[in-house]
Amino acid sequence: MCPLYRAGRGILISGDPKSNSILYTNGRSVIIRYLDNPLKVHVYGEHGYPVTVARYSPTWSPDMLRIVASGDGKGKSFVRAFMWDTGSTVGDFDGHSRRVLSCAFKPTRPFRIVTCGEDFIVNFYEGPPFKFMLSHREHSNFVNCVRFSPDGSKCISVGSDKKGIIYNGKTGEIIGHLSQEDGHASSIYAISWSPDSKQLLTVSADKSAKIWEISENGSGNVIKTLVCPASGGVDDMLVGCLWQNDHLVIVSLGGTIHLFSASDLDKAPVSFSGHLKNVNALTVVQSDPKLILTSSYDGHIFKWTQGQGYKGRLEKKDSSQVKCIAAVEQEVITSGFDDNVRRIPLNGNECGAAEQVDIGSQPKDLSLAIDSPGLALVSTESGVSLLKDLKVVSNINLGFTVTASIIAPDGSEAIVKLNNMLYHTARINCLAWSPNSSLVATGSLDTCVIIYEVGKPASSRITIKGANLGGVYGLAFTDECTLVSAGEDAFVRVWRLAPQ
């Protein structure tokens, strides 16, 4: 899961070398991921609106007292520097006429701030209190990113004109350029210095990352071009990067994070990804319950393995949205926002041509009977339909819209939920039945999951509060004691239940 991207701009990834973790955002969540163990993740989800940036405190001013922020605004409000504890302003930032895309603090004294933006300008400010120092107009397109080297001796700016310009970190004067030979063929979106300030990592819309050797006089030459695993689409554009300890972190437009080893550049990267939009359906593959499929509002279907994480994306023949999903060996059953249920054969990660049936109403939920192959229950605007091998064998008009339904593993009975929220405080969105039919779980718009034991009083229920921020939209058991949930926060979470 990666930061949201806006056209023509890169993304920010903050890192902490001591814990070797990275910090980034997605939707309303802030994510901390540990590079030595990428499956170890901490999530902060208390923001009420989408989060645009998150930074570790050492990336503020070197004395950790001041913060510089940039963005859109009017007049002098494109850039502000202020004390972190009082919010009082510590300078004036004249010199920009359009959105400021990047800013940075010089990490050593004397303090400097550098900014750049959509007006093609790079400005240096001295202080505190900060005031205008000098301006450069060498770029011929948006300037996307500026960064000081860790030792403060140099600064670099890169832009959509494919240029990289290197400055003296103290005086702000231009001292060199990134070589055009073997350089990027398209916009450069982000940069990151090596810890020793001698090398540089850049990423570009040309889908490549490059490592540069930076000489004392400020010239930069390519020493290695890194190619990330890709499918060849627009999503493979590279928009973010971070050089931290021995890890080179590279992020694509489609949300995939690639980890290269700085000490072994020929080693294949470790790649992982996740949904950028809310997950609206989840299922486990009947022949392999540890294999999980999830679909999101933007039409993507991802594969996950319990205990290992991301395992790739299914390449669909079309970009249609998937509202409900179920899976059996070598095929998936889906329904969308039309009236059709589709059966799609799989060949690895490739989706074949789909068979489909029109059930006469928009499907609201879809489930398969694990022990009765080909039997599916579909809830609709007016009731439920029973399908056998993609043929409608029964339509039951209940006279109301069914919001969630689930068929028992053996196909002998089903549960239909509607306005009755039971112990939830909002609409029930999804249901799950354990493989032995002893447990039933419900997921709700109220962000909670409740697990009931069949045949026992409801007072024995288990409630997982805040299972998915914004609402739970997908539930499935992988075994009798393990439940997987997904929802509006774009996260897939695994819950271990105490043995019954």
Tell how far CA 226 is from the center of its chain.
22
pLDDT per residue, tens digit, the chain (500 aa), is 333 344 456 888 899 999 999 999 988 899 999 999 988 899 998 888 888 888 887 556 777 888 888 888 765 579 998 898 898 999 999 899 999 999 999 999 999 999 999 999 999 999 999 999 999 999 999 999 999 999 999 999 999 999 999 999 999 999 999 999 999 999 999 999 999 999 999 999 999 999 999 999 999 999 999 999 887 788 899 999 999 999 999 999 988 999 999 999 999 999 989 898 899 999 998 778 899 999 998 888 999 999 888 888 888 877 677 888 988 878 889 988 888 899 988 888 888 888 889 988 888 889 988 888 889 999 988 889 999 998 999 988 888 878 888 898 888 888 888 555 679 999 999 999 998 889 999 999 999 999 999 888 888 899 999 999 999 999 999 999 999 999 999 999 999 997 65
Q: Could you tell me if 359 and 380 are in contact, meaning their C-beta atoms sit under 8 angstroms apart? A: yes
Q: Could you tell me if 202 and 193 are in contact, meaning their C-beta atoms sit under 8 angstroms apart? A: no
DSSP string for residues in 64-105: S-EEEEE-S-SGGGGEEEEETTT--B-B-----SS-EEEEEE
- Cα torsion 320, 326, 330, 331 to 10°: value is -40
pLDDT for 59 equals 53
Nearest to 159 by CA among 25, 309, 9: 9
Q: Could you tell me if 399 and 383 are in contact, meaning their C-beta atoms sit under 8 angstroms apart? A: yes
Burial of 57 (0-12, 13-18, 19+ CB in 10 A): exposed
CB atoms within 10 A of CB 86: 8
**Do 14-272 and 279-496 show the same overall fold?**
yes
Give per-residue burial for 193-230: e unless 16+ CB within 10 Å, then b: bbeebebbbbbbbbbbbbbbebeeebebebeeebebeb
Q: If you ran DSSP here, which 8-state letter would residue 499 be given?
A: P
What contacts 24+ positions apart, CB below 8 Å, involve 177-181?
177/218, 177/219, 177/220, 178/202, 178/212, 178/220, 179/219, 179/220, 179/221, 179/222, 181/221, 181/222
Going by C-beta distance under 8 Å and a sequence separation of 6 or more, which residues neighbour residue 45? 28, 29, 30, 466, 469, 489
Burial of 322 (0-12, 13-18, 19+ CB in 10 A): buried
Domain 14-272: CATH superfamily is: YVTN repeat-like/Quinoprotein amine dehydrogenase (2.130.10.10)
Nearest to 154 by CA among 165, 142, 143, 168: 168
**What values do phi and psi take at 444, rounded to 5?**
-135, 160
pLDDT for 63 equals 78
Q: If you ran DSSP here, which 8-state letter would residue 178 be given?
A: B
Going by C-beta distance under 8 Å and a sequence separation of 6 or more, which residues neighbour residue 474? 279, 280, 281, 282, 283, 294, 430, 443, 484, 485, 486, 487
Burial of 401 (0-12, 13-18, 19+ CB in 10 A): middle
Biggest alpha carbon–alpha carbon distance for the chain = 79
pLDDT for 5 equals 42
pLDDT for 500 equals 56
Going by C-beta distance under 8 Å and a sequence separation of 6 or more, which residues neighbour residue 124? 112, 113, 114, 133, 134, 135, 167, 172
The domain limits of the chain are 14-272, 279-496
Q: How far apart are CA 310 and CA 357, in angstroms?
A: 31
Q: How far apart are CA 169 and CA 175, in angstroms?
A: 10
Q: Which CATH class is domain 279-496?
A: mainly beta
DSSP string for residues in 445-468: TTS-EEEEETTS-GGG-EEETTSS
pLDDT for 141 equals 97
Tell how far CA 97 is from the center of its chain.
32
**What values do phi and psi take at 234, rounded to 5?**
-60, -30
pLDDT for 373 equals 82
Nearest to 490 by CA among 293, 341, 276: 276
In the structure encoding, which two tokens stand for residue 383, read together? 């009731």
Tell how far CA 217 is from the center of its chain.
39
Q: If you ran DSSP here, which 8-state letter would residue 412 be given?
A: S
Instruction: Return the SS3 of 25.
Output: strand
Q: Could you tell me if 356 and 363 are in contact, meaning their C-beta atoms sit under 8 angstroms apart? A: no
